[in-house]
Each structure stands twice: as structure tokens, then as C-alpha cells.
Amino acid sequence: MKSTVLAAIGDELLSGARLERNAHFMAGKFHAKGWEVKRIEIVSDSENEIISLLTRWVGRTDILILSGGLGPTHDDMTRQAIARYLGCGLRADDAAYDRVLDRVKDDPKRLAYTESVRDPQAMIPELAQTVFNPAGFALGIKFEREETTVIALPGVPFEYEAMTRQELPEIFTGNEKRTASVIILDTPEMHIAAKIPEVINHTGLHVSILPAFPQVELIIRGEPETVARAEALTRMKFAGLALPEGSTSIADAVLIEARAKGFRVSCAESCTGGLVGAALTDIAGSSDVFNGSAVTYSNDAKRGILGVKAETLRDFGAVSEECACEMAEGSRRVYGADFAVSTTGIAGPDGGSESKPVGTVWFGIAGADGVRAVKRVLPGSRAEVRTRAVRFALAELWKEIRRA
């Protein structure tokens, strides 16, 4: 089995100031092709650390991809470290950099900036090859040693993706399905594992179980035919709880189900502040299903926009079954939707009480056959409560549409 090591370079990644995205992106691509991802590492902006990384993995993996440290600032050390590792100097690849300049020749300001950072961004170790950057300004670096191909690329995610697609087209093409994802709702992970031992214990499969209320995602990896059989068996055993094949999230499942049945959906949001609508509209093509979301954070907005009764808010409060139902019905009416979901709750960290603790969220789901409400007390920080509320709202909406 071929193997790869993915590494990211940057003090900002080690300090938590920025999230690492590039290795995550490529790990999925390599796994889908049946490669072994031997390690993902993050190292600091230090020539010695980068050289140590190269020494550690050259000769021990087929491809080593580095991300970051190729910009024009004082803390960008990757090109110098590679030159030291190879025992050579740096040279300017003016021909390659002129191609970069050609992309911005019609924008005088960008052209002037790009020309100003030619040195060091055009500099390549003398014993390495240039990797052209089709999306940004810094050139990449490529060399081979001890049967390991080393590719160093900029850390900007859209540049990194464009350059990996350019340099490793075989990783991004083909239809072999070596990885399958099955998302199952309302079932604890231990119950799932107990119900499909022939999948979990199969020696030819690697199965990851990833819980994220109210779902559990199974990632099944292996040879294509074995993966296909395991996925089919899992979907059969969890019929009605497994999201449809091809869906990558609960929001995706809502759109697939509604689109197949010709339904339109909408939202009314209080504690989630528009995140339910955002989850739906993050997916391309959602406009053929999604009509809109009313973010009615205040009681005045609930009354004025959605038609929630003043007596409901007075007698039961905004965080109540009655309010959630009226919000969902109001959204369905305002947006002319077939189905609507609402959220109203206490995300915290303050505002809770003994009867309505922080994390209490009511969800309303309205359709042609009426409206219902579900209450959950969700754990975690404010951000975690809101994230869980979004997933639960979409799960309830999907189940309602599926039953129609």
C-alpha cells in the first residue's frame, strides 16, 4: 500500500490562532484512493524543525506534502530549510514567476504588489523543481530523495487545493469507492456497533464511529466491493434512521428528500440566530428547496414577523412548546413553505432558571398535517448548544418530510 505523510508549518497553528485545514483536506483524498496516511504533523516556523521533519520521513513514505512557510515575511522558513536539507543554494525561477505576474497584469495595484514580493517568492532550491502556483503568488517546491517525493506548497487553503490538484491529478480522479459514509440518527454508537458486528469486526475494513448529537457517522474504508457490501448491509439494518445515500450532512438530506418530493421548506430561528438557514444555504442548489429563514430574536420580532400571539409569550414565555409551534406555523405561512422548523431556547451562558436551564431548546415542526414540538436540554457551551440545536432541528425536519 502506498503511503503519505502530511505536514503543516506555522506557529499560528501550534498556538491555536488558526485551524489547520490543508492536511485534513488531503487526508480524505488519499484515504479515498486507498493510500495509508501514516502521520499528520504540525511543526513551528523553524528551519531546524522543518529539516527534522524532512529527515524523519524522507525514505519512509512515498509522498511527503508540506503546507506553509513559503510567503514573503520573516517567519516563512520553508524554502531556506529545504535548501539547507538538500545542501544547495536558492535560485530565482523568473520564468515561472512571470507566469504568475501575467495573471494580474491588468490590475496595476496587484501587479505592483506581486512584483514587490518576487524575492523571495520566486526563489527555489537549486536542486529542486518549481511547482507553479495557478491561484496565488508563492511558487511551490518539489524534489525526490530516497524514493520519497516531497512537495512544499503555500498554506493558503485555496492555493494549496489548486496546486495539489495540479500536481497529483491521479488522487482526484477515478470512481473507486474505497470510503463510504453512513449517517444514522437517534441511535447511540454502542447500539450501532452491536447491531452490525459483521461490519465492525470485518478484518478487511476499517470503521470509524463518529458521534455528534443527534447523529452518528460511520466511515467505512476498505476495498471497493467490501465497502459497498458493508454500506448496503448497514443501510438495511438502520432503514428509516440512516440518511439517504449520497447525503453528506443532515442539511443535505433535508434538501435531497424535499427535492425528490417537490416540497419547499423554511425556518424560524431565535437561539440559533440564522444557523439553520445557513446550514441549508451552504449547499449549492438549495434555492430550489429553501424559501427563507426568519431570525426573530426578540419577542417583538416573533409577534410582528411570525404572528406569535402576545398571550402565548405572556403566559408561556418565548422558550416554550406553544411559542415554538406558533413560530413554525408563522414561518410556513410567511414563506409559503410546505414544511417549516423553528428553534427557541436558552443557549447561555446566562438566562437559565430551575424550570428552564441553560441548554433548553424547543423545536417546532409544521407541515400540512399540523404542527408538533420537541424539547431538548442540550449540553455544552453557547456555541455547542447552538451547533447541536441546528443539527437536531434539521433532523426533525428531515424525519417530517420523509414521513410525508
* pLDDT, position 32: 85
Distance of CA 130 to the CA centre of its chain: 31
Whole-angstrom Cα distance, residue 377 to residue 380? 10
Average pLDDT over residues 351-356: 91
Note whether 217 and 207 are within 8 A (CB). Answer: no
- C-beta neighbour count of 401 within 10 angstroms: 24
Provide the pLDDT for residue 1.
Answer: 85
Q: What was the pLDDT predicted at 174?
A: 72
Q: Are 187 and 241 in contact (CB under 8 A)?
A: yes
Question: Could you tell me if 4 and 65 are in contact, meaning their C-beta atoms sit under 8 angstroms apart?
Answer: yes
pLDDT in tens, 261-312: 999 999 999 999 999 999 999 999 999 999 999 999 999 999 999 999 999 9
- Can you give the pLDDT at residue 92? 96
Peptide bond into 379 cis (omega under 30): no
The 10 Å Cβ neighbour count of residue 154 is 27
Burial class (CB in 10 A: 0-12, 13-18, 19+), 311: exposed
Q: Return mean pLDDT, the chain.
A: 95
Strand order in the sheet with 140-145: 36-43, 3-9, 63-67, 148-153, 140-145, 129-131
Measured between alpha carbons, how far is 112 from 92 in angstroms, rounded to an integer? 18
Alpha-carbon distances, residue 247 vs 9, 82, 110, 255 (angstroms): 33, 42, 40, 9
Query: C-alpha angle with apex 344: 379 to 334, nearest 5 degrees?
Result: 150
Q: Give the Cα separation of 186 and 342 in Å (integer).
A: 19
Instruction: Write down the pLDDT at residue 15.
Output: 96
Give me the pLDDT at residue 135, please.
Answer: 95
Please give the average per-residue pLDDT across 137-145, as a whole number: 97
Q: What is the mean pLDDT of residues 338-359?
A: 95
Taking residues 315-341, report their average pLDDT: 98
CA angle 312, 314, 318 (to 5 degrees): 65
Q: What pLDDT does residue 246 have? A: 87
Domain-wise residue ranges, the chain? 3-171, 179-237, 250-403
* Range with lowest mean pLDDT among 14-28, 46-60, 164-178, 272-286: 164-178
Q: What percent of the chain has pLDDT over 70?
A: 100
Residue 176 pLDDT = 67
Question: Domain spanning 179-237 has what CATH number?
Answer: 3.30.70.2860
DSSP state of 242: B
Q: Which of 70-74, 109-113, 227-231 has the lowest mean pLDDT?
A: 109-113
- Burial readout 23-35 (b: 16 or more C-beta within 10 A, e: otherwise): beebeebbbbbeb
CA distance 262 to 34: 38
Quick one: average pLDDT of 103-110?
90
How many CB atoms are closer than 10 A to CB 374?
A: 15
Residue 257: closest CA among 245, 268, 266, 269: 245
In this prediction, residue 161 has a pLDDT band, given cuts at 50, 70 and 90, of very high
**Measured between alpha carbons, how far is 23 from 7 in angstroms, rounded to an integer?**
7
Residue-level pLDDT at 387? 97
Q: pLDDT value at position 330?
A: 98
**DSSP helix/strand/coil, 339:** strand
> Is residue 192 packed enough to be buried (19+ CB in 10 Å), middle (13-18) or exposed (0-12)?
buried
Q: How far is CA 256 from CA 13, 41, 301, 398, in A?
A: 36, 37, 31, 9
Q: What is the pLDDT of residues 86-100, one digit of tens each?
A: 999 999 999 999 999
Note the pLDDT of residue 151: 98
Superfamily (CATH) of domain 3-171:
MoaB/Mog-like domain (3.40.980.10)
pLDDT band at 320 (very low <50, low <70, confident <90, very high): very high
Going 296 to 301 to 304 to 310, the CA torsion angle's sign is positive
pTM over 0.85: no
CATH of 250-403, picked from 3.40.50.620, 3.90.950.20, 3.50.30.30, 3.40.50.2300, is 3.90.950.20
Q: Which helix (H) or strand (E) holds 219?
A: strand 215-222
Contact in structure between 67 and 23 (CB atoms under 8 Å): yes
- In the chain, pLDDT over 90 holds for what percent of residues? 92
pLDDT tens, position by position, 237-259 = 999 999 999 899 999 999 999 99
d(CA 329, CA 267): 10
Give the single-character DSSP code of 296. -
- DSSP string over 302-335: HHHHH---HHHHHHH-SSSHHHHHHHHHHHHHHH
